[in-house]
Amino acid sequence: MSRIRVTASVIAAVAIVSAAVAFSQSPPAAKPAAAKPAATSAEAAAKKIAHGKHLSVVSVCGDCHTPGTLFGAPDFSRELSGSELGWQGPWGTSYARNLTPDMETGLGKYKEEDIVNAIKGGHRLDGSPMQPPMPWQNYATFSDADLHAIAAYLKSLPAVKHAVPDRVAPGTAATGSFLTFPAPSAWDAPRTPPPGSDAGAKKP
Ligand code: HEC
């Protein structure tokens, strides 16, 4: 019985294959190829995300944006979901933001393109200037393809709900934990004030 069935299915398979061969030989042969580009584009998307992840690791995004990293205990279950550690300097106090795709507290509302343009142009997604220590000037030298890969990786992360404290203007008291940089020695002191600040001209 089963032998007969096997034989029958072999015949059926052969029939299908020969039909396919006949079809592919007769023009136009567009249909059988249709499934291929879809698989290829999924592969390309996975490759792009993997490349973005690698760039984000070597560009140490997580040092500032993943909780615990600067204390030697990165919490990868909340990877890139922002930190409550403030950075205080002539620019005021800034907090590394939630970069996961959470709709309310992260970058969920923004398209890949918006994230690329923010990093390239040195402005936050609300259009305001990106404050230190976010080293956007360095990342702006990535190619567009690299920045798109980083943005695609950020969009592929699991969304984590975490509202980072709002940044604080110079001279206004910050709440929570923050790092303050002591005034530099004469050797280290900048000759010109850092871009975007009036430090050196007057006290904040
Ligand atoms: C040295 C610390 C530091 C590093 C490293 C860093 N960031 Fe940031 N990032 C910040 C801080 C601080 C802010 C908030 C700046 C502000 O409030 O103006 C920020 C803001 C951002 C924003 C704006 C988010 C928003 O809500 O508008 C994006 C996007 C961003 N960072 C992406 C990245 C990516 C991608 C990397 C790695 C390629 C990275 N950052 C590396 C500190 C850092």
| pLDDT tens figures, 32-60 | 555 566 678 999 999 999 999 999 999 99
Compute, in angstroms, the gap from residue 33 CA to the centroid of ligand 1.
Answer: 43
What is the average per-residue pLDDT within 138-148? 98
| pLDDT tens figures, 161-185 | 999 999 999 999 998 899 998 888 9
Let me know the angle formed at the C-alpha of 77 by 160 and 99, rounded to the nearest 5 degrees: 40
Among protein residues, the one whose CA lies closest to atom 42 of ligand 1: 134
Neighbours of 124 (CB within 10 A): 16
Task: Pick from 97, 146, 157 the residue to mutate for probing ligand 1's pocket: most ligand atoms within 8 Å of its CB.
Answer: 97
| Residue with the larger pLDDT of the pair 194 and 141 | 141
Q: Is the pLDDT of residue 22 over 90?
A: no
Distance, CA of 199 to CA of 130 (rounded, Å): 17
Ligand 1 atom closest to the Cα of residue 151 is: 35
What is the average per-residue pLDDT within 83-91? 94
- The answer to whether 154 and 89 have CB atoms below 8 angstroms apart is no
- The answer to whether 93 and 85 have CB atoms below 8 angstroms apart is no
Among protein residues, the one whose CA lies closest to atom 17 of ligand 1: 94
Compute, in angstroms, the gap from residue 65 CA to the centroid of ligand 1.
Answer: 7
**For residue 166, what are the CA distances in angstroms to 9, 27, 86, 98?**
67, 63, 10, 11
What is the average per-residue pLDDT within 121-140? 96
Mean pLDDT of the chain: 84
**CB-defined site of ligand 1, < 6 Å:** 56, 59-61, 63-65, 87, 94-97, 99, 115, 118-119, 124-125, 130-131, 133-135, 139, 150, 167
Q: Is the pLDDT of residue 17 over 60?
A: no
pLDDT at site 198: 55
pTM over 0.85, yes/no: no
pLDDT at site 16: 44
- The answer to whether 151 and 52 have CB atoms below 8 angstroms apart is yes
Ligand 1 atom closest to the Cα of residue 91 is: 18
Domain ranges of the chain: 61-180
Neighbours of 73 (CB within 10 A): 8
Compute, in angstroms, the gap from residue 36 CA to the centroid of ligand 1.
Answer: 38
Q: Is the pLDDT of residue 31 over 90?
A: no
String of DSSP letters for 101-117: --TTTSSTTS-HHHHHH
| pLDDT tens figures, 114-128 | 999 999 999 999 999
